[in-house]
Amino acid sequence: MDEHLIRETEKIAVAIGRMFPGLCEVVLHDLRDPDHAIRAIENNLSGREVGDPATELGLRRISDPDYPSVLQNYANQFPDGRPVKSTSIGIKNADGEYIAALCLNLDVSVLSPLTHTLSSLVATDAAQPGVVEDLRSRTSRELRERIERAAGGSPRSLSREAKRDLVRRLRDEGYFESRDAAQIIADLLGVSRATVYNYAK
């Protein structure tokens, strides 16, 4: 029964390793034979071989059935010094004894330069004073609604000063990007296009 369980776990080890070639080493340890524990090794990144002995974690599980069944994302390293993120999963039989361990060793040295590159790509400079930009295209309807809201429904009744302030706000909010914006503003405020441009200065 134990052998069947280990054979089934070996399928998982092979499948996971082949899903992440060159990136994640997957090792199945047969803890029934600690001196020759490595039963399978997929994506060999540590230089170990089938038949090599169990690691310290494997020996602890053999001696202590209460040892944690899952150790997740702990720092480790390959013999050549490359940093590794490891996860070790203990496999127990029906009697509650550890008979195997499935270990995943992710080579993070491959990912670190990529992480740095991505961080540089998405980084932005500190906010620039006075720089406000909305990349959304303003529509004529939005412009009309914005003016109506600002004027309380009566744009033409605004004072000259209020009209000038409104035009400048519209300019700062990007409404002048539309080709017909100046004419729409002029019509709603009851002034000429030239006056609108004068207000916007």
Residue with tokens 């997740």: 72
The predicted structure's pLDDT at residue 180: 82
Residue length, the chain? 201
Residue with tokens 């480790």: 76
Model pLDDT for residues 23-80, shown as the tens digit of each residue: 999 999 999 999 999 999 999 999 999 999 999 999 999 999 999 999 999 999 999 9
Model pLDDT for residues 95-118, shown as the tens digit of each residue: 999 999 999 999 998 877 777 777
Neighbours of 150 (CB within 10 A): 15
Model pLDDT for residues 120-162, shown as the tens digit of each residue: 777 776 665 665 555 555 678 888 888 888 888 788 888 889 9
3-state secondary structure of 155: helix
Tokens representing 27 are: 């090792």
Tokens representing 100 are: 């195997």
Listed residue (150, 152, 148, 132) closest to 140, CA to CA = 148
Tokens representing 175 are: 């409404």
Contact yes or no for 51/41 (Cβ under 8 A) = no
pTM, rounded to two decimals: 0.59
3-state secondary structure of 87: strand
Amino acid at 38: I
